[in-house]
Structure 1
Amino acid sequence: MMNTIGMADLYKMIKKRWWVIVLVSVVGIALTTILTNYVLIPQYATTTQLLVSRKNVNTQSIEIGEIETNIQMINTYRDIIEDPVVIDKVINELGNTLTGVELQKKIEIITQEDSQIFGIKVTDTNPNRAAEIANLVAATFQENIDGIINVENVAILSKAKANAAPVSPNLMLNQVVGVLVGFLLGLILSIILETRDKKVHDEKIITEKLGWIHLGNITEMTLREVAEEEKKQVVTVATNHSKKVLGGD
C-alpha cells in the first residue's frame, strides 16, 4: 500500500527541495521564451466587415422578424464563403499559391450578437497577404452572392488593412504557461526524489515507522572540529608527558 503525503509533509518537502521547483520553473520560462521568439512563426490577423440586406417583397417597413431572419442568414453566408464557388476564385486570384483547405483554415467568420454585420477575419504569416486575402474573399462574395440567393445589397463597410502587430504567439501568456508547467513538473520531481530517498533524516522514522528504540545520536564533526579536537589531544598528551618527566626528576 502506497504511503499518502499529507499537507504538512508536502510543505516540508517543498521547503526542503524548493530549489528544484525554482530551477524547473526557470527552465520552463526560458524554453517558452526561446520557442516564442525563435521557433514559433508569428501570425497576423485582419478583418473586413460586411452588411448583407435581403430583398424585401413588401413595400412596408422592415419588421423585427425580418431582421432576425437576416441575422440567421449569416450562417448561410458563412457556408457560401467557405464553398468552392468563392474559395476557388480567390485561390485563382492569388496565383494558386494555396490549396482550398489551407485557405479555409485562414478564414474565420466573426459575428456580433443581434447585428446584421459580420466580419471576415483572415490570419496569415504575412500581414499584407492577410489583408489581401480578406479583401479578395469579401469582393468575391459580393460579386457572386446575388446569383446564389436572393439578396438586395452586399455592402463592404470597412476593408481589411495590414496589421503589423502579431496576434500570436503571445510571449507573456506563453511565459505564464511555462511557469505553471515548470512548477508542476518541479513539484512532481520533488515528490519523486523524496519518495526514492531511503536515507534516515529524522529520528521519528526510527521510532514511528520502524518501531525501533532510539538509543542515541551520533553527531557528525566538521573537518575544523576534527582538527581542533586532534590539537587538544596533542596538547593533552604533551602536558601529561611533561608532568611525568618533571615528576621523575
Structure 2
Amino acid sequence: MEETISLKENYEIVKKRIWLILSITIIAALISALVSLFVLTPIYQSSTQILVNNSESEISGFDINDIRTNTELISTYSVIIKSPAILDIVIEELELNRSSGVLSSQINVKPENNSQVVSIIVQDANPTLAAEIANTIARVFKTEIVALMNVDNVSVLAEATVSEKPSPIKPNPTLNIAIAIVVGLMSGVGLSFLLEYLDNTVKTEQDVEKLLELPVLGSISQIKEQEENAFVSSQQNQPVGSVTIES
C-alpha cells in the first residue's frame, strides 16, 4: 500500500510541474539545435586504402608466411604513418599551417579485419583538404617506408575522393537534439522533485497528519468567489422571514 501511495505522490509531483519539465526540455532541445547547426564547425571525413603485400624483389606467388609477416607489420606501419617522419613531409608539401601533433590527432589508421589492407582516415573542416591529406600521406608513406625499413611492400589500393555534395560526419544535429531532450526531461523531473522536497508549506490534510502525527477531525473548505456571490444573491432574493434549509 505504501508503494502505491508513493507512486501516486510521484505522479502528482510530475503532474503539478509538468510545464516546468516541458519548458526545460524544449529549451534544451532548442539550444542543442542552434549550437549544432550554427556554432559547431562541420567536420568532414575522407579515407584512402593501402595494401601491404609482398616485396617486388621476391618471387611472386602465394605464401602464407609472407601474409602473416605483412599482417604483423601493419601495427608498426600504423605508428610510422602518424609519426613526424611522415607527417612533416605532408605538412611541407601541402603547406599546412599546423604541427605534426595536431595533424596526427586528425588521422586514424585502421587495419581492415586483420587483413593486409589498411585505411588511412582523415577528418578536417575542409572536405577537399581531408582527401588531399589522406592521399598525400599514403603516397609519402609508400615512398619513405623504403628508406625507413628497407622494404618495398606497400601500394595504394584506393585513393580518397570528394563527392559533389559531401556530408559532415559531425556534429549530428538529430543525435544531439535527442540527447538534449533526454537530458532536459531528466533535469526537469529532478528539479521538480527538488522543489517539492524544499517546499515545507502545509497544503493538505495529509501534510497536517504527517507534521503533527494527529488525525484530522475536520476541514474548512474554500469557497470560490462565484459560489459566494451566487449564495449572497440567493439570500437577497428570498422573502423576509423565510428560512432556507439545506440538506
TM-score bracket for this pair, using the shorter chain length? 0.7 to 0.9
Alignment match, 2:107 = 107
Alignment match, 1:187 = 189
Cα deviation code 1:194-239 (max 9, x no counterpart): 1122233331222244212313122222221121122123224xx2
Compare 188-197 and 19-28 and name the one that shifted more.
19-28
TM-score w.r.t. structure 1 length? 0.86
The separation in 1 between residues aligned to 2:235 and 2:179, in whole angstroms, is 61
The separation in 2 between residues aligned to 1:56 and 1:139, in whole angstroms, is 17
Structure 2 counterpart SS, 1:91? helix
- What RMSD in Å do the two structures reach over aligned CA positions? 2.3
| Corresponding letter in the other structure for 2:182 | L
Aligned residues: 236
The separation in 2 between residues aligned to 1:127 and 1:177, in whole angstroms, is 27
| Corresponding letter in the other structure for 1:94 | L
Alignment match, 2:200 = 198
The separation in 2 between residues aligned to 1:175 and 1:60, in whole angstroms, is 55
The separation in 2 between residues aligned to 1:221 and 1:55, in whole angstroms, is 96
Check 1:228–1:177 CA distance in 2 against 1; reply closer, same or farther (3 A cut). Answer: same
Within a 5 Å distance, the mapping from 1:1-249 to structure 2 comes to 6-55=6-55, 59=59, 61-163=61-163, 164-236=166-238, 239-240=239-240
Check 1:58–1:85 CA distance in 2 against 1; reply closer, same or farther (3 A cut). Answer: closer
Larger radius of gyration: 1
Structure 2 gaps of 5+ residues are 243-247
| Corresponding letter in the other structure for 1:226 | E
Structure 1 gaps of 5+ residues are 244-249
Are the equivalent residues in 2 in contact too, given 1:81–1:141 (CA < 8 A)? yes
Identity of paired residues, percent?
32
The separation in 1 between residues aligned to 2:69 and 2:186, in whole angstroms, is 50
Q: CA deviation at 1:165?
A: 0.6
Structure 2 counterpart SS, 1:152? coil
